[in-house]
Amino acid sequence: MERADVVDPRPSAGGGKSTKQAWLNLAIETLVSDGIDQVKVQAMAKTLGVSRSSFYWFFDSIQDLQQQLLSHWLTRNTGPIIERSMRPASTIIMAVCNVFECWVDKSLFDPKLDIAIRFWARRDQAIRAIVEQADGQRVEAIKSMFLRHDYSAEQALIRARVLYFTQIGHYTLEVSETLAGRLAHLQTYLTVFTGRELNPAEIADFERFCAWVNEE
């Protein structure tokens, strides 16, 4: 059994419960709310109500925790974009709608986590290299999607960049806009991003997906 699945068996003076996931969840919350500088063992131990030594039952060091934060971010935010980009779709409009699912469902992409990682990257060149690599992977996946729908290599690259950088910029600028407000412009966004006119039937599945997300 891996440590992620167990509870630290040692007694805690604070009466708290120490698990690897609890530490990781708190580290993610702290990163998002206060930045990487506040992801500290002593402070998190106090919040969890456990001893500082409990941390080392699950992590070799604070650097180990930071690496696992990065791994979580890559799985959480990069994986779904690549998966959606690779999904079979009969038209480019439907393919782009697959990617758009990441922008409307926070279980597929966590904007606040993405922003927090980018702030961290501004201060740490090693983290910046990881972020740049992830951005490259995301753009490459979207580019490949356009290539499968008969765009030239140059068109596919630039359209992928425009689609992806527009959304990341939307998050980074913290644009205040409701989902309903964005969806009101959906057809225009799709026409601009793809350069092709759409049939309303092409976006029916995406509209149903958005309605389902809003019900959650």
What is the span of the domain harbouring residue 162? 61-215
* Tens of pLDDT, residues 78-115: 999 999 999 999 999 999 999 999 999 999 999 999 99
Q: Are 107 and 116 in contact (CB under 8 A)?
A: no
Instruction: Give the pLDDT score at 2.
Output: 45
Residue 158 vs residues 64, 80, 216: alpha-carbon distances, Å: 37, 21, 35
Residue 116 vs residues 124, 130, 145: alpha-carbon distances, Å: 13, 14, 28
* Residue after which a domain boundary falls, among 59, 77, 104: 59
Can you give the CATH number for the domain in which 23 is found? 1.10.10
DSSP secondary structure code for residue 185 in this structure: T
Q: Are 41 and 52 in contact (CB under 8 A)?
A: yes
Local confidence band at 182 (pLDDT 50, 70, 90 cut-offs) = confident
Q: Are residues 93 and 162 both part of a single domain?
A: yes
Between CA 182 and CA 41 the distance in angstroms is 41
- How many domains would you assign to the chain? 2
* Tens of pLDDT, residues 185-216: 999 999 999 999 999 999 999 999 999 987 76
Q: Are residues 79 and 152 both part of a single domain?
A: yes
**pTM (whole model) above 0.85:** yes
Instruction: Indicate the average pLDDT of the chain.
Output: 92
Q: Are 114 and 168 in contact (CB under 8 A)?
A: yes
Q: Are residues 113 and 170 both part of a single domain?
A: yes
